Structure 1
Amino acid sequence: YHDFMFSMKASHPVVMIQAYRLLASEMMKLGWDYPLHLGVTEAGDGEDGRVKSAIGIGTLLLDGLGDTIRVSLTEDPWKEIDPCKRLRSYAESYLGKGTVPFVEQSRNIAEIKRRYVRQVAPLHRDGSVIVWGEGEVGPRGDAFFNGKEITYDEGTLTVQPLETFQMGEVAHVKDGDPSTWKRLLEVSTPFILLEMTESYLHQGRRFFDWLRETKLDLPVILMGHYPSSDEDTVIHASAELGALLADGLGEGVLLKTNLPQEKESSLAFNILQGCRMRATKTEFIACPSCGRTLFDLQEVTQKIRARTAHLPGVKIAIMGCIVNGPGEMADADFGYVGSGREKIDLYVGKECVERGIHYTEAVDRLIDLIKQHDRWIEPSQLVESAT
């Protein structure tokens, strides 16, 4: 029987990407050509769900993998169609784009590792560089780009003065020509701003291969320009930059978009969190609901998000039923799972610790569980630390 297609969905975009790539590799060895259905399961809602979906689905589509797609959102079903169309359109726009042929050495799909970098720039403990923003982006911004530029000789390599932060000069690469990259070997810089105007993904992979060949281990911030609509910006930036970050290529992001500064900064953080590079808020794993769900999943998700969204590093699953819920939330720290009419089971990791709680009490009990496991932070503490 051969009338089928493969689906290797996961709620973690990086795991999902690796699973599909390994499947495609094995199919090539066997001479199989079965179609692939792509999706990041339980992606959640809002911008978070779209970012995670675009990272996972977009990365594979830009690699030429995938035949059908679904963006699984905890929203009304018809709202899933628009991001699907935008992803398909963006992947189609990449057809015919590329770079000069080269033998890629910087990635191994069987074992994704972050590249080694010298920590001469301000890095976080997980190895990711600060997130940059233009101007005042709010209390969570780490550093700001002042827009000044000093030309380095003739050509496209420039340096950015950052006197405010006493970080010296930052090399700014704008060209896909390796002959200009050689200048990086001659300058002293804490990290590199990588800005490619054409075929960012393919040129970026080529650049990281060059860094590997030359043993240049400086951190790289991916600088992407996305002048389209707000909806396209979220999809395009997540797919293109996420494709590099998910492979361990790049240590931070700087976005140039038409979004308001606060939203631009939020999108940058969401992309880093979607690639599991840096957690700045709670991660929600929420199913799209189905006929087995016996409560308003969208309403409950919003209630839980409103009270728990301020917990960086904590993953909370909100699942409609016990059929698929426990298995598909295995990556979560805490779980809220419908178990019957108006009844909820609560999980810590993969273990069900409370059963049959009435839904009117379940959110409070979930928060109690988070507190019992020392993962709770009072919102007032975050405000104090930010100021």
Structure 2
Amino acid sequence: FTPNAAEIAAGIVEKVRVNPGNYVDKKKFEQIEYSDAEYLEEIDRIRERFTPLVLLCKKHGTAMRIGTNHGSLSDRIMSRYGDTAKGMVESAMEFLRIARSLNYHNIVLSMKSSNPLVMVQAYRLLVHQMMEEFNECYPLHLGVTEAGDGEDGRIKSAIGIGSLLEDGIGDTIRVSLTEDPEFEIPVCKDIVKRYEDMPADTVSSGNVRLAYSPFEYRRRESNEVKNIGARNVPVVVADFMQAGEILPDHLVNIGYRYDAITDKWSIGDAAADLIYSGDKTVSFELPGTLRIVCDHKRWAEERKFGHYPLFQGKEFFSATGRSPEVNFVAVEAEEISGDFIAAVNGDYTIVLCIYSNARNGLQRIRLAVNRLMQASVHVPVIIAVESHSKTIDEQLIDFSVQAGGLFLDGMGDGIWLMNDPGKMESKMVTGRTYLQASNNHAFLNNTSFSILQAVRTRISRTEYISCPSCGRTLFDLQETTTRIRSVT
């Protein structure tokens, strides 16, 4: 925050961090509007105050991180760009241009925000801007600041950092949790582990034209099929494929509780919308907001109320029995070709459940949805993700990165998470946990809603944001956050 302190540190430490929002500029809102001449005068003032630090770093061989923070953009940047990713990028670029003019390049940049959507857009835009202006990129340090604690902090960090690593963006990472610092490193390692020995993709997608902007959020246009797609919030599918008989008591794990005395269901804020039951049907009366998806063959035999069929890929086109209301079609991303797209176009009963078995499943599914968008086919899409990781911590990262990354690009009308609990070696979450997960169904349901919450597409509970760096120096942030949670 203080140029004088930074200049002293530059001669001692290996790297200094500068926040463009408060190194010279301030956030006092003393001046709201800036003319072009006034704006340029402020740039000159920054150059005058920032140049000594750059020269000292050159002299001592000290590296510098130019780290923009979404929560501390200056009055001047806010007046011209607003509270946007573009403002974050320009805030850093002003300092980077000055450093380059002094032939100083020992620089790392970061674009941190507590909102993964803003954070991802800012990094992507920064890379684009550097290539446009300099035809080269500086190293990038990734992080979601003030991510929170428990599952929320881990999921938000994984979505923001992982989505960028999936894009090939990022050189170092930091996970910021409102927990003891030693709990941050394991989360970092789980995120990075996804990219160890990642094989090169041998499938060539050619010269792809994007039907969406990676720099701004706009939800993909889709048809409304029952409560799926269009302006409806994304639906959550609870996977009961491996369960035996499904009983009313089992639904407590996905947000429903039955009271036998009143013969009524109570429905939680994080209650799943659909159950996939495999080759089973349900024999009891369902809550009003819950429906069953079962295999097409079983559905055709019984055609129970509240049940809908699931077809496997192209099986749908040759099937004789279809639902007049909703037909779910599970399809591998690579199968979504021109012929498939033409076949589903115009059918307002279809909901696609797109999955990928590839290591780079996020890119495969994104490419498949992009094909639908290019063809102006508005079939609703449920993002289906299966994790084969051996620990619950790793699965939390897998689900967050792959599903969350696609929702950040506006590509999901629903989420369906799957795993095989019998193959997991550890079912205990490291660090704090606030969401009760007594079994695998509860874990998958909690994770689904937490991902949707993190990408701001479906809000189901209060979100707590706190800054670990500042808070630790003033009071016990963990204890204070817990007290706030307990009374709100």
Give the structure-1-normalised TM-score. 0.72
Asked if 2 retains the 8 angstrom alpha-carbon contact of 1:99 and 1:203, the reply is no
Asked if 1 retains the 8 angstrom alpha-carbon contact of 2:348 and 2:379, the reply is no
**Alignment deviations for residues 109-134 of structure 1 (CA, whole Å, 9 cap, x no partner):** 23331111111230489533311102
Asked if 1 retains the 8 angstrom alpha-carbon contact of 2:220 and 2:410, the reply is yes
1:277 alignment partner AA: T
Q: Cα distance, 1:185 vs. partner?
A: 3.5
What corresponds to 2:277 in structure 1?
A: 146
Asked if 2 retains the 8 angstrom alpha-carbon contact of 1:173 and 1:181, the reply is no
Give the Cα separation in 1 of the matches to 2:485 and 2:201: 40
What corresponds to 2:377 in structure 1?
A: 216
Report the CA distance shift for 1:98/1:184 in structure 2 as closer, same or farther (over 3 A). farther
Report the CA distance shift for 1:86/1:62 in structure 2 as closer, same or farther (over 3 A). same
Report the CA distance shift for 1:124/1:208 in structure 2 as closer, same or farther (over 3 A). closer
What corresponds to 1:241 in structure 2?
A: 403
Report the CA distance shift for 1:12/1:110 in structure 2 as closer, same or farther (over 3 A). same
1:174 aligns with 2:305: no
1:270 aligns with 2:401: no
Match of 2:352 among 192, 211, 215: 192
Give the Cα separation in 2 of the matches to 1:82 and 1:280: 27
Give the Cα separation in 1 of the matches to 2:180 and 2:448: 26
Q: What SS does the corresponding residue of 1:146 show, helix, strand or coil?
A: strand
**Alignment deviations for residues 299-353 of structure 1 (CA, whole Å, 9 cap, x no partner):** 1111212222xxxxxxxxxxxxxxxxxxxxxxxxxxxxxxxxxxxxxxxxxxxxx
What corresponds to 2:161 in structure 1?
A: 57
Aligned-pair RMSD on alpha carbons? 2.8
Unaligned runs of 5+ in 1: 309-387
Asked if 2 retains the 8 angstrom alpha-carbon contact of 1:226 and 1:256, the reply is yes
Q: Cα distance, 1:270 vs. partner?
A: 0.5
Report the CA distance shift for 1:41/1:126 in structure 2 as closer, same or farther (over 3 A). farther
1:35 aligns with 2:35: no
1:293 alignment partner AA: T
Alignment of 1:1-387 (within 5 A): 1-29=104-132, 30-97=134-201, 99-102=203-206, 103-123=208-228, 127-135=232-240, 136=251, 137-139=254-256, 140-147=271-278, 148-150=294-296, 156-158=313-315, 167-177=325-335, 178=337, 179-185=339-345, 189-198=349-358, 199-228=360-389, 229-257=391-419, 258=421, 260-290=440-470, 293-308=473-488
Unaligned runs of 5+ in 2: 1-103, 241-250, 257-270, 279-293, 298-308, 422-438
Asked if 1 retains the 8 angstrom alpha-carbon contact of 2:362 and 2:402, the reply is yes
Q: Cα distance, 1:188 vs. partner?
A: 5.3
Q: Cα distance, 1:155 vs. partner?
A: 7.5
Asked if 2 retains the 8 angstrom alpha-carbon contact of 1:74 and 1:298, the reply is yes
What corresponds to 2:75 in structure 1?
A: none
1:142 alignment partner AA: D
Asked if 1 retains the 8 angstrom alpha-carbon contact of 2:114 and 2:145, the reply is yes
**Alignment deviations for residues 282-307 of structure 1 (CA, whole Å, 9 cap, x no partner):** 11112224586322110111121222
Higher-Rg member (1/2): 2
**Alignment deviations for residues 89-109 of structure 1 (CA, whole Å, 9 cap, x no partner):** 113354513643241322212
Report the CA distance shift for 1:138/1:263 in structure 2 as closer, same or farther (over 3 A). same
Give the Cα separation in 2 of the matches to 1:99 and 1:233: 26
Asked if 2 retains the 8 angstrom alpha-carbon contact of 1:126 and 1:278, the reply is no
Report the CA distance shift for 1:104/1:39 in structure 2 as closer, same or farther (over 3 A). same
Q: Cα distance, 1:181 vs. partner?
A: 4.8
1:249 alignment partner AA: M
Q: What SS does the corresponding residue of 1:60 show, helix, strand or coil?
A: helix
Report the CA distance shift for 1:167/1:64 in structure 2 as closer, same or farther (over 3 A). same
Q: Cα distance, 1:210 vs. partner?
A: 1.5
Give the Cα separation in 1 of the matches to 2:188 and 2:366: 25
Deviates more, 1:3-12 or 1:212-221: 212-221
2:408 alignment partner AA: A
Deviates more, 1:172-181 or 1:58-67: 172-181
Q: Cα distance, 1:269 vs. partner?
A: 0.4
Q: Percent identity among equivalent residues?
A: 38
What corresponds to 1:329 in structure 2?
A: none
Q: What SS does the corresponding residue of 2:112 show, helix, strand or coil?
A: coil
Give the Cα separation in 2 of the matches to 1:87 and 1:292: 25
